[in-house]
Chain A
Amino acid sequence: MFGRGRHAGCQTGAVMAIAPAASNVPDPRGATRAIAYAIRGLERRYEVTASNLANLETAGHKRLVARSPGDSAGSFRTELDRAKSSASAVVRDFTQGDLVPDDDPSELALQGDGFLAVEKDGELRYSRGARVLVDPEGTLVEAHGGQLLGQAGPIRLASPLSTFQVERDGTVRSDGAEVGRLRVVAFVDPQVLEAAGGGLFRAPDGAEVVSAQETQVIQGARERSNTDAVRELVELIVIQRQYEAAQRALSVESELRKRLNESSS
């Protein structure tokens, strides 16, 4: 690790500004810095894992993955690159979570890559599922108070006392009559979605939307978090061991430098 610990430039958008060193000239600060980056990256990976585990039982939660952009590169410099950029990108894994049937007809879950459009406080949000309630005006709302949107605005039942059924294509029926169709949208690149907390996502302006024909709306089911506890536990162990190793490397490096200083004096 130390022999290679030299400057690799900033092509991965490093957090700290480092002047690109002339090639192949060992930089004595490189190793320490690389390890420090590694340590910081590991801490962030730990935080991501903790966040996934905390939401193990949160319906519709999508796990986060700390990913380093240097992963694909194959040069001998990548180790330093990777260390610097570890967790420099946190992406969300939008794969489908397990659907568990529930006897509660107010639960809606999605099968496919779509999102339900929800209007909350006048802003458009997207959700992977909802507990649907009927407010005193007869409008369909989700548990956070946002209104579920249909093709033409909020969906209103014939009367607040009506029951409703949601079909797989999102059509909402109330007392047998169709009252609207849930707006289900999919994104060309779901990574542009920003978490707005509360299981809701915010899309940036101009996010590319495609129709979500294949997405099915399932009433009476909830989508479990797609976090796999075992995988996250393995990740925890790996993080811990790498962290240990990085700390040890730092002590060794500091020991080496101490000796170097002593021998030169």
Chain B
Amino acid sequence: MMKGLYTAASGMKVQQINVDVIANNLANVNTAGYKRTQADFQDLLYVVLREPGAQTQSGFSTPSGVQIGSGAELVSTTKVFSPGVLEQTERALDLAILGDGFFEVDLPNGQKAYTRDGGLRLDANGQLVTAQGFKLSPPITIDAAADKSISVAPDGTVSVRDPVANTTSQVGTIQVARFANAAGMRSGGGNLLYETASSGTPTLAQPGQNGTGTIGQNILERSNVNVVNELVGLITAQRAYEVNSRAIRVGDEMLADAAQLVR
């Protein structure tokens, strides 16, 4: 059977994955701290019918060989950590990292996870938690009576002001984790990313130091998904899918022709 049929099928499969990735980006266009994923493709192995420089029958050495590709495949889906759109909010606990780095959270199973989503809340014990309820690491406890105002400085220090006593007290410092290769982190849903062997170990630092970003208060970082770019990607993916299906049809019709040879 003609190899080209499978080659074109691999092209269709690749575009299918491409559409899946784009659809996921579009679905998360309003997810705080979401980083868009980029699917990267590569060409598949080549069938070498004749090596470049091989001797032909007439004794010449061919300048170029005969290598025919076998299609395309997915090589990686990479998170692109460009900054997202910053949105001003009225909540004192909406924090954004302006620059590089992640908030570190403690999962109930003792594992650490990392997120760019700084829409924080206070739990029943007055601890700073993410929207899913995971505690910030190191934990910060705020005695939050309704009339107290919380302020977070760019360097991560959290202080609480008591308007009655007219005092300001520091309650802790938010730390920011950085990775050598953030793109190598594993995404685990729930806006959380995990450390892997290829991401390297996290380096915790106070915001603004060692190249980490600073903390912005009353700001939420939205996704860095650009709808127009994703839609353009969707269109090109659809067209590429179409032409590959067309290649399969042509191959099929050629085979049908060949089958008519013997009647």
A interface residues, Cβ below 8 angstroms from B: 10-11, 13-14, 17, 39, 42-44, 46-59, 61, 64, 87-92, 102-106, 131, 133-136, 138, 143-144, 160-163, 175, 189, 191-192, 194-195, 197-199, 204, 229, 232-233, 236-237, 239-240, 243-244, 247, 250-251
Mask for B31-53, Cβ within 8 A of A = 1, else 0?
A: 00000001011111110110111
Interface core residue of B2, B52, B260 (most chain A CB under 10 Å): B52
Mask for B171-187, Cβ within 8 A of A = 1, else 0?
A: 00000001111011000
Q: On chain B, which size bracket covers the interface?
A: 35 or more
CB-based closest 6 A-B pairs: A54-B11, A160-B180, A136-B200, A13-B56, A51-B69, A50-B4
A57 touches B80 (CB 8 A): no
Interface of B is mostly: mixed
B15 touches A57 (CB 8 A): yes
User: What chain A residues lie within 8 Å of B66 (beta carbons)?
Assistant: 87-90
A233 touches B67 (CB 8 A): no
B67 touches A194 (CB 8 A): yes
Interface core residue of A49, A57, A199 (most chain B CB under 10 Å): A57
- Determine whether B30 belongs to the interface, using a CB cutoff of 8 Å to chain A: no
Mask for B149-185, Cβ within 8 A of A = 1, else 0?
A: 0000000000000000000000000000011110110
User: What chain B residues lie within 8 Å of A58 (beta carbons)?
Assistant: 14, 41-43, 72
- Determine whether B137 belongs to the interface, using a CB cutoff of 8 Å to chain A: no
Q: List 11 A-B contacts (CB under 8 A).
A: A47-B2, A49-B247, A51-B70, A56-B244, A58-B42, A136-B200, A189-B63, A243-B254, A247-B257, A247-B260, A251-B260
- Determine whether B243 belongs to the interface, using a CB cutoff of 8 Å to chain A: yes
User: What chain B residues lie within 8 Å of A91 (beta carbons)?
Assistant: 64
B18 touches A57 (CB 8 A): yes
